[in-house]
């Protein structure tokens, strides 16, 4: 699935629309046509600040202090501090999330497994997708970039005793975006259509120039 991801924060929901993908969502035949592809790109990557506490003191479980959504929540729930075997701290998760958004997503840099792991390792060496007891996946990160929601509940035990990462997945995804399929119309849009305009650094909205979206392939490479 190609992932169409907002790289700017100044778009309100229902403003940025891609109308040259096929079939048209509102005009397709429900009997003969596949799922509609035209869409609004309304959801920016979420990134609530994660907070944790250890109510029992040293040697007891570390829990989240509030229900949070987004990238930092996904990181603290699914990425182990592999060399130490414990969970990421809230500070580490929040820092990594901010770095990934700034250095990869907003810069339209490839978000491959290696690239994401490099951002994680810059804060917590030796940790990342596929390392140790981490359960994070590249698909999870790309879904978040494209606007799907990851919810980590209040009182989630991210570390069972202060020194051991809890590998159980405590959060869950809510689907908020329409699935995009690789197609000829997508390639045409990237080459000469709506998406070709939205990915330009000269694209202007309310007087501000800058690309509006980045389009990732399902391996994290950049399609546009």
More confident: 12 or 64 = 64
pTM for this entry:
0.94
Residue of 63, 92, 50 lying closest to 161 (CA atoms): 63
| Pair 94, 143 in one domain | yes
pLDDT, tens digit, 9 for 90 and up, residues 21-54: 876 665 545 655 666 677 889 999 999 999 999 9
157 and 117 belong to one structural domain: yes
Are 114 and 162 in the same domain? yes
Q: Considering the domain boundaries, does residue 122 fall inside one?
A: yes
Number of folded domains that form the chain: 2
Are 150 and 166 part of one and the same domain? yes
In SS3 terms, 162-193 reads as CCCECCCCCCEEECCCCCCCCCHHHHHHHHHC
Which structural domain, as residue segments, surrounds residue 104? 52-174
Q: Are residues 134 and 159 in the same domain?
A: yes
Domain contains 44: no
Which tops the pLDDT comparison, 92 or 37?
Answer: 92
Helix runs in the chain, H state only: 71-78, 90-100, 113-121, 138-146, 184-192, 194-198
**pLDDT, tens digit, 9 for 90 and up, residues 100-128:** 999 999 999 999 999 999 999 999 999 99
User: Within 13 Å and on the Cβ side, how many CA atoms surround 166?
Assistant: 19
């Amino acid at each position: 699935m190609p992932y169409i991801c907002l790289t700017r924060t100044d778009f309100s929901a229902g403003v940025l629309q891609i109308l040259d993908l096929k079939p048209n969502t509102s005009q397709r035949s429900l009997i003969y046509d596949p799922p509609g592809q035209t869409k609004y790109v309304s959801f920016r990557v979420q990134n609530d600040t994660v907070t944790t506490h250890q109510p029992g003191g040293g040697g007891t479980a570390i829990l989240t202090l509030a229900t949070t959504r987004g990238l930092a929540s996904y990181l603290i729930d699914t990425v182990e501090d592999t060399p130490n075997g414990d969970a990421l701290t809230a500070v580490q998760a929040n820092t990594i999330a901010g770095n990934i958004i700034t250095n990869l997503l907003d810069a339209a840099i490839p978000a491959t497994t290696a690239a994401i792991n490099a951002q994680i390792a810059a804060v917590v060496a030796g940790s990342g997708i596929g390392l140790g007891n981490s359960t994070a996946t590249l698909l999870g990160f790309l879904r978040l970039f494209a606007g799907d929601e990851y919810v980590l509940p209040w009182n989630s035990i991210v570390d069972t005793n202060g020194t051991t990462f809890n590998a159980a997945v405590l959060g869950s995804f809510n689907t908020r975006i329409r699935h995009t399929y690789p197609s000829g119309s997508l390639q045409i849009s990237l080459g000469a259509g709506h998406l070709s305009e939205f990915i330009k650094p000269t694209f202007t909205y309310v007087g501000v120039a800058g690309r509006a979206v980045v389009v990732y392939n399902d391996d994290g490479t950049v399609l546009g």
